[in-house]
Amino acid sequence: MTVSAIVTTDPDRRAAAAAAHPSARLLSTPEELFAAGVDLVVVAGPNRTHVPLALAAVEAGIPVVVDKPFAATVADARRVLKAAEQRGVPVTVFQNRRWDSDFLTARALLAEGALGRVARFESRFERWTPTPDDGWRERADADEAGGLLYDLGSHLVDQAVQLFGPVASVYAELDQRRPGARVDDDVFVALRHHNGVRSHLWASHTAAHHGPRFRVLGSEAAFVSQGLDGQEGALAAGLPFGGLTTPAVLGVAGGFTPVPGVPGAYSEFYRLLVAALTEGGPLPVDPESAVYALGLIEAAFESARTGEVVAV
């Protein structure tokens, strides 16, 4: 795949794009892109742009990858999928953390039955950023879909469902902890899966100490991983990102041993996408799974508002 055109009007981003992709055309409007004869559009703008740009790409008949969250609401996501079905245009969602090293390692251990019967899954994205910035993720306007539940929660919920299946109920606590915060910056979501597993999910900007990235507690053993998958940092630094693994251990109290991590593989998303577009294989992320996760996020907002457990 080749990056052939980039749409941005920001001078700094245009300079960075020209340096990183010197052969790509720099365009100023989405309309220029849709007329440029590209084979695929990637929507990686602020959350408020996801639905209108996806709809425009579909109308132009161009397959489209939409960054997470797919949309702010299930209804908006359904609008995109209805238009895509009518036009026969493939749409998928960039849930790249399905290819994190720790997630792939946990999935492999579950498939082997190494943990026994799982009772609880804990997953965290914790940061220490005690002062809000002025970016769009910190804005309270509904169409911005800002806050941590939409941002990191989209990954947390998606990974839990991918590992442990459909959800029966949702409970959530959403807080604004930082002075001046206008959106949720400290999040806890509890999912009760139909198979009995309980997923406890955290995202925070105010965590001065970070808990385990994953902790999976089973009847035979526990799996614990620490720290973030390194692919995102490597990509941002322009470094090779394939083959990176996340430190993890497996065992019981007093007897934990290191686990050889499954290498992370963000590029697998695009390998599968190429196969889907050229050979008719399945999309790397079924957009229906993203819609399902959005439904759980909507239930989490309702639970936080009412203080009640929400059946789904």
Three-class SS state of 178: coil
Instruction: Give residue-wise pLDDT tens across range 26-82.
Output: 999 999 999 999 999 999 999 999 999 999 999 999 999 999 999 999 999 999 999
144-171: average pLDDT: 97
Note whether residue 289 is domain-resident: no
Structure tokens at 245: 């693994």
What is the number of domains present in the chain? 2
User: Sign of the C-alpha dihedral, residues 175, 178, 181, 184?
Assistant: negative
Residues 276 and 306 in one domain: no
State pLDDT tens for residues 278-295: 999 999 999 999 999 999
Q: Is the pLDDT of residue 254 over 90?
A: no
- The CATH number of residue 249's host domain is 3.30.360.10
Range of the domain at 27: 5-96+270-281
Residue 236, pLDDT score: 87
Q: Which two tokens stand for residue 109?
A: 């251990």
* Residues facing residue 203 across a β-bridge: 125, 187
* 260, part of any domain: yes
Tokens of 263: 């290498």
Same domain, residue pair 88 and 203: no
Domain match, 167 and 28 both:
no
- What is the torsional sign of CA 60, 61, 65, 70? positive
Mean per-residue pLDDT over the chain, rounded: 96
pLDDT greater than 90 at residue 264: yes
Are residues 227 and 275 located together in one domain of the fold? no
Band of pLDDT at residue 87, cut at 50, 70 and 90: very high
Whether the CB-CB separation of 163 and 172 falls below 8 Å is answered with no
Angle (CA) 239-284-202 rounded to 5° is 70
In this structure, the answer to whether residues 115 and 260 fall within a common structural domain is yes
Q: Are 145 and 72 in contact (CB under 8 A)?
A: yes
Same domain for 170 and 305: yes
Tell me the C-alpha distance between 78 and 307, whole Å. Answer: 28
> Do residue 253 and residue 214 come from a single domain?
yes
Banded pLDDT at 138 (limits 50, 70, 90):
very high
> What pLDDT, on the 0 to 100 scale, is given for residue 143?
87
* Closest of 254, 251, 270, 263 to residue 108, by C-alpha: 263
Would 286 be classed as within a structural domain?
Answer: no
